[in-house]
Amino acid sequence: MPSRVACVFLGGLLAASVACPMCARAQAPDEWITMNKDYSSQRYVDLDQITPANVGSLKEVCEVRINDPAVAVFTSGLLMVGRTIYVNTLRATYAIDAASCDLRWRYQIAFKRPEHGVASRGSGYGDGKIFFGTVDGQLIALDAETGKPLWDVENAIGHGENFISAPIAWGGKVFLGIGVSDNGIRGRFMAFDATTGKELWRWYTIPLGNEPGAQSWGNKPSVPPAGGGFWASASLDPMTGEVFAPVANPFPDYLAAVRPGANLYTNSIVSLNISNGKMNWYHQGVPHDQHDWDLGTSPTLYRGRSGKNMLAIAGKDGTVLGIDRDSKELVFRTPGTTRANDGPIGANPVLVCPGTLGGAQWNGTSYNPDTGTLYTGMVDWCWYYGEVPNPADPAHPIPTPVWNFAAPPRGQITAIDGESGDILWQYRAAGPVLAGLVPTKSGLLFAGDVRGNLLALDARTGAVLDRLDAGGALNNGLISYAVDGTQYVAAVVGGVALNTAGVAGPLRVSIFGLHGNDTPKIVRLVPLPRPGSTRAEQAAKEYDGVCADCHGVNAAGGTYPTLERQTQLAGNPEALKAFLAYVPPPMPRLYPGLLSDADVALIAEHLRVLLTPPSAKQEPPAAQQNSPPRP
């Protein structure tokens, strides 16, 4: 079947090259038209101006300070097209000059429904357009040159649904899947018409009824099959007409007893037919997952050194899968971080590696085709998994993971032979490695960690050739490219991700080059208006955007501890500032840097609402009640 698809597809391509504007402009070799550079997601850069010999003089050239109120999670990837960088927060899309950091345009999203989620992983580029999904389920197309909106469609309307991952655009289509598995959605991957936004096809990640694979899902009618969302962009092979989508975990995440079987097609890499969305084949990385070990990274497509047609994908289970795309066989499964105790969860707590927030997240593998080497960056963090009582159903205690701050998260970068899966070297990073790795033609590997280290490694040995303090966490986007013959490295810096031990810092895109200096140009953007119309709403939005992701919207605890014991911070901005300024890791350093005094004052006000028992709640003083909304 794949060969027939290829013929049909190539016919289309030849015809299209005459008429279709999509094909009018070829991608320049160092442009980033997807989060992972191109459709193969190799993230390899064919540039050699920055070399192992001169990388020591790399310095920051300029940075643009984003300054979106009530936004702390900054986990966008980067695009670079022409001489423009595109970056997203959940509230806006920015176009920035790739050499000077000057703002070209900014597009503020108008939310139409309640937002589910706090992050955007970025945009995709195609045919002069920028495409991105939003946390309230819109898919938006902008003119890449001007930022002018072209179309906007509302797709995700179900409870808990949204778009987090970045779309990819190819051949007049935009490809994107919905999240979030952990909200109990039923995942689907979709193709849209790039000119109109019309949905062309959809593929559900969880088969029901008579659909193939459905028999292996659960047998409890009270628990509808759910999960299988998307955190990462797809990859695509124009020659075979396949789009490769990485499917996330089943739901409920840990209570696996209610969903017997393999839970297809969760935690799988699936090959779908570009034209109609029918599934060609799949490989499931973790069947019947009990640890929240999704495949949340983009797959890398490559030819091994002997010509083998390969796909590699890294998972939260801490392994890299190497699959032969011709035979569909698993060729290797190589660890990229500590692995221990991956068996079923029992009553007694056991230290499992990686834990829920370990392994490969955001970014998976990169590939250097010159040397046949795969690289992967991971989070090295073990958590305890045990059972807690289930008041609703005492016979079935609930398996639950608990973070382990006794050994806080570290990072690991691993170089792997792309055909055998053999480990070539490993580098232990000071903090979680979430940023995408960038191998270059000159034999460098650019990397970063959430401790703010921008690293240049020797791609052959893993030796650190240069380490720069970026002044904030590197939480995702990291690219290299050239403008007017000069090679640059650009990174998304600052803010937080759910991963702890980060150094936060103000949100920015920083550009580095060999001609940088110690006083880089800083472009400060005028802040967007604060979300919320009353002061109380603004306070809630600020708390929700900065603290809720980790401590829960009600401050009753989320991924990290409850704030209920901390009533002294409620309504007391001075105490909150002191706490935030001196709190040691793993809690990130949010003030000063990321948060302004005004932001902290709002958070303290909202903590008063959240942490004061209902009986003791008092009306705020009149002055506060009447203060006008802040710009």
CA distances in angstroms from 619 to 565, 605, 614, listed in the order given:
22, 12, 12
- CA 275 – CA 500 distance, rounded (Å): 41
- CA 580 – CA 276 distance, rounded (Å): 51
- Does 88 contact ligand HEC by CB under 6 A? no
- Does 586 contact ligand HEC by CB under 6 A? yes
Number of residues that bind ligand HEC (CB under 6 A): 21
Which residues inside 124-163 make contact with ligand HEC, applying CB under 6 A?
none
Candidate list 551, 589, 606, 608; residue touching ligand HEC; CB under 6 A: 551
* Least spacing, CB of residue 507 vs ligand HEC, in Å: 13
Spell out the residues 6+ positions from residue 565 whose beta carbon is closer than 8 angstroms to its own: none
Order of strands, edge to edge, in the sheet holding 453-458? 438-439, 444-448, 453-458, 464-469
- CA 51 – CA 489 distance, rounded (Å): 12
* Least spacing, CB of residue 386 vs ligand HEC, in Å: 18
- Does 565 contact ligand HEC by CB under 6 A? yes
* Least spacing, CB of residue 563 vs ligand HEC, in Å: 5
Candidate list 550, 570, 610, 611; residue touching ligand HEC; CB under 6 A: 550
- Does 566 contact ligand HEC by CB under 6 A? yes
Which residues inside 300-359 make contact with ligand HEC, applying CB under 6 A?
none
Give the contact letters, 466-505, x = binds to ligand HEC (CB under 6 A), - = no: ------------------------------x-x-x-----
Angle at 580 between CA 575 and CA 582, to 5 degrees: 95
Closer CB to ligand HEC, 482 or 498, in the complex: 498
Greatest extent of the chain over all pairs of C-alpha atoms, in Å = 75
| Cβ–Cβ < 8 Å for 401, 353 | no
Closer CB to ligand HEC, 12 or 586, in the complex: 586
- Does 405 contact ligand HEC by CB under 6 A? yes
How many CA atoms, within 13 angstroms, populate the side-chain half-sphere of residue 140?
29
- CA 452 – CA 454 distance, rounded (Å): 6
* Least spacing, CB of residue 407 vs ligand HEC, in Å: 12
* Least spacing, CB of residue 621 vs ligand HEC, in Å: 22
Closer CB to ligand HEC, 176 or 603, in the complex: 603
| Cβ–Cβ < 8 Å for 242, 326 | no
Candidate list 82, 561, 592, 620; residue touching ligand HEC; CB under 6 A: 561
The total number of residues shown for the chain amounts to: 631
Closer CB to ligand HEC, 111 or 579, in the complex: 579
Closer CB to ligand HEC, 171 or 588, in the complex: 588
Segment interacting with ligand HEC (CB under 6 A) among 30-38, 317-325, 412-420, 558-566: 558-566
| Cβ–Cβ < 8 Å for 477, 492 | yes
* Least spacing, CB of residue 600 vs ligand HEC, in Å: 7
- Does 546 contact ligand HEC by CB under 6 A? yes
- Does 547 contact ligand HEC by CB under 6 A? yes
Candidate list 380, 544, 549, 605; residue touching ligand HEC; CB under 6 A: 549
How many CA atoms, within 13 angstroms, populate the side-chain half-sphere of residue 106?
17
| Sequence-ordered strand ranges (E) for 504-562 | 508-513, 521-524
Give the type of residue at 73: V
| Sequence-ordered strand ranges (E) for 66-128 | 79-81, 84-88, 92-97, 103-108, 124-126
- Does 93 contact ligand HEC by CB under 6 A? no
| DSSP classification of residue 73 | B
- Does 70 contact ligand HEC by CB under 6 A? no
* Least spacing, CB of residue 546 vs ligand HEC, in Å: 4
Spell out the residues 6+ positions from residue 48 whose beta carbon is closer than 8 angstroms to its own: 440, 441, 442
| Cβ–Cβ < 8 Å for 354, 315 | no
Closer CB to ligand HEC, 168 or 600, in the complex: 600
- Does 620 contact ligand HEC by CB under 6 A? no
Closer CB to ligand HEC, 27 or 566, in the complex: 566
Name the residues that contact ligand HEC, by CB under 6 A.
Answer: 405, 496, 498, 500, 546-547, 549-551, 560-561, 563, 565-566, 569, 579, 586-588, 590, 603
